Each structure stands twice: as structure tokens, then as C-alpha cells.
Amino acid sequence: MADALSLMIDQNLLRQAADLYAIGADRRDKALWRQVLAEECVIEGPGFITQGRDACLQSIDALDHMYRATRHAVQQQVVAIDEDAAVGETYCAASHLLRDRDAILVWAIRYQDAWRRDDEGWRFTRRSLLLDWTETRPVNAGTSINLFKDMTL
């Protein structure tokens, strides 16, 4: 029973890392990313690779420059845990509100993830962004953009 409980706790903590990553991106909150990225973290995707936590944190500035707002909705996640290491796949629908018109660019993402547990919790050591498809559609951009940007978690 203790092993099953430990597994459920770790699964929940790994999901929380993915959720905090998404919220950090949307709020442009580097402190949240700092909580979940290992010092040696690598984030890669179509046409880019970023190595090291400090370099990865600069991706937040790039998001702010490229889009008026983003909304990353974390969906299902499957993980395999081996003591203080884990690998898994995390699905995400990432909506990007374009700067030049009232439209969103939606990415259907599958992250291939690797984590390491340290004294402060589970941290991503690698996030490989696999882009299944994109969609661009018009949107009515409301006035509540970044309403919760400064909320503390």
C-alpha cells in the first residue's frame, strides 16, 4: 500500500510540475519556471534547442515579445518513475494570441519529458516539444488578458 501511495504522490507532483510550467509561461513568471527546471534543463522543439535553466528562462521573454497572451492547457500525462528519475509524455493545447490581429494560433503539443528529483522536488531535465498540428482561428480578444498575471502560487 505504501508503494502505491508513493507512486500516486510522485505522479501528482510530476503533473504539478507540468501545470506550473504552463502557468509560468502564461503569466511570464520566471520564478515558477525556476521551481520546475533543473539547472541543466534542455528544452527543444521544431527549429530550436535551449540548454541550461538561465537560457530556458529567456523563452519567457520571447513569448512576451511574440504574443499578446498565451494559454497552455495541460491535458493527459503518462509517466514512468524509477526512483529519483522519471520520463513521460504530457499533452498540451497551447493557444497564442497573435499581436497583429485578433486571432489565436493553437498548437497541439506532446511533450516528451524527463525529470529528476532533488531536495526541492521534481524538476524537468528535458522537454522535447512535438508539434502534432497547428490551427489559426479568429478570436474575440477580451479585456481580461493577463488578469491573474500577478497572482501568487
List, for residues 96-121, the tens digit of each pLDDT value.
Answer: 999 999 999 999 999 999 999 999 99
Residues with Cβ within 8 Å of 27's Cβ and at least 6 positions away in sequence, in order, are 146, 148, 149, 150, 151
Classify residue 69 as exposed, middle or buried by CB count within 10 Å of its CB (0-12, 13-18, 19+): buried
Amino acid at 115: W
pLDDT of residue 141: 80
pTM, full prediction: 0.91
Sign of the Cα pseudo-torsion (138, 21, 32, 9, in order):
positive
| pLDDT value at 149 more than 60 | no
16: enclosing H helix or E strand: helix 2-27
The pLDDT mean for the chain works out to: 94
